[in-house]
């Protein structure tokens, strides 16, 4: 390998884009050439500094609103004469609105109940022999890149071994007719599946625990992602898991 080639390929090495064979070749060249060693070290250093700096921009809320309003919306039903009359019959137009609000809330919960049951089914499936993980690793730097390219959004993969929850791997699963990522942890001999899917809502939704078929499921939303942690460990231990995970994610973001 010439230095010219190595000067290009060392970037692919830095970015984890080389297969094992090429990676070894580039590493061998770097090891044998002091100029390339220095260049590699310098580029790695720059990449580290860049990674530590927030270089992203956040879209202004006004832009989000502009785009939202430009999308076809489900329009509010024009009140017909009859529905207005019915509104009055119920006491006032306000109570009619309140009633329709109740319907919306009921429907949404139904939807969530269905997704919860899918999440629990996926958890059960994962417990059958050979279904737990597609990628087996206790190293978050192995699990995280594995998801890249397989999903629109790679789930955050955080090692919580020090906090008593061992990362064992990751898996693709299927919830609500969409492929989503599942990060698998173990607490003693108990499996915790963390399902992560993207959502259009970026608001923070605080964690809530529900129980279904004897499994605890703690669900929350943050930064455009929906999370479900499912396990047969106790509700308090599951809450502890979610707290530690959230704290670690926050630390990563603010890093």
Partner 1 sequence: MPATDDVQKAQRFREAALPYLDDVYTLARYLLRDASDAEDAVQECYLRALKHFDSYRGPAMKPWLFAILRNVCNAEYARRAHRPSAIEDTPGAAEQTPLWQESEVSPETEVLRSRDAGAIRKLIDALAEPFKETFVLREINNLSYREIAEAVGVPVGTVMSRLARARAMLRAAWTAEEEQAK
Beta bridge partners of 226: 197, 221
In the complex, minimum distance from the CB of residue 108 to partner 1, in angstroms, rounded to a whole number: 14
Report yes or no: 205 and 221 within 8 Å, Cβ to Cβ: yes
Length of the chain: 255
Q: Which is nearer to partner 1, 145 or 234 (CB)?
A: 145
Q: How far is the CB of 124 from partner 1 (least distance, A)?
A: 26
User: Which two tokens mark 90?
Assistant: 């119920």
Shortest distance (Å) from residue 219 CB to partner 1? 17
Task: Work out how close the CB of 222 gets to partner 1 at its nearest, in angstroms, rounded to a whole number.
Answer: 12
For partner 1, the closer of residues 154 and 239 by Cβ is: 154
* Shortest distance, position 59 Cβ to partner 1, whole Å: 4
**Can you tell me the distance from the alpha carbon of 196 to that of 240, in angstroms, rounded to the nearest whole number?**
18
Decide: 239 and 165 in contact? Cβ < 8 Å.
no
Q: Residues near 178 by Cβ (< 8 Å), separated by ≥ 6?
A: 197
Burial class (CB in 10 A: 0-12, 13-18, 19+), 228: buried
By beta-carbon proximity to partner 1, the closer residue of 6 and 238 is 6
Residues contributing to the site for partner 1 (CB under 8 A): 3-4, 7-12, 15, 17, 38-39, 41-43, 45-47, 49-50, 52-60, 62-64, 66-68, 70-75, 148-149, 152-153, 198-200, 202, 224
Q: Which is nearer to partner 1, 153 or 212 (CB)?
A: 153
Q: Which is nearer to partner 1, 64 or 131 (CB)?
A: 64
The side-by-side arrangement of strands in the sheet containing 190-198 is: 135-136, 166-175, 178-187, 190-198, 225-231, 215-222, 205-212
- Report which DSSP code applies to 75: P
Question: Residue 154 or residue 235: which is nearer to partner 1 going by CB?
Answer: 154
Q: Compute φ and ψ for 19, nearest 5 degrees.
A: -75, 170
């Amino acid at each position: 390998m010439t230095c010219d080639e190595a000067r290009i390929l060392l970037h692919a090495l830095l970015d984890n884009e080389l297969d094992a064979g090429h990676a070894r070749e580039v590493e061998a060249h770097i090891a044998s050439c002091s100029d390339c060693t220095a260049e590699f070290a310098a580029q790695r250093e720059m990449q580290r500094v860049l990674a530590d700096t927030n270089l992203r921009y956040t879209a202004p809320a006004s832009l989000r609103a502009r785009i939202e309003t430009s999308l076809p919306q489900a329009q509010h039903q024009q009140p017909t004469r009859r529905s207005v009359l019915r509104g009055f019959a119920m006491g006032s137009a306000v109570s009619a609105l309140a009633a329709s609000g109740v319907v919306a809330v009921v429907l949404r919960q139904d939807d969530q109940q269905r997704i919860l049951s899918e999440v629990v089914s996926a958890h059960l499936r994962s417990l059958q022999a050979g279904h737990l993980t597609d990628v087996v690793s206790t190293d978050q730097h192995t699990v995280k890149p594995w998801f890249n390219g397989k999903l629109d959004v790679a789930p955050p993969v955080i090692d919580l071994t020090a906090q008593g929850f061992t990362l064992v791997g990751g898996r693709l699963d299927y919830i609500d007719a969409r492929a989503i990522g599942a990060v698998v942890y173990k607490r003693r001999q108990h499996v915790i599946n963390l399902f992560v899917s993207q959502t259009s809502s970026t608001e923070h939704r605080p964690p809530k625990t529900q129980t279904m078929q004897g499994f605890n499921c703690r669900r929350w939303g943050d930064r455009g992602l929906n999370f479900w942690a499912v396990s047969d460990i106790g509700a308090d231990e599951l809450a502890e898991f979610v707290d530690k995970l959230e704290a670690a994610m926050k630390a990563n973001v603010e890093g």
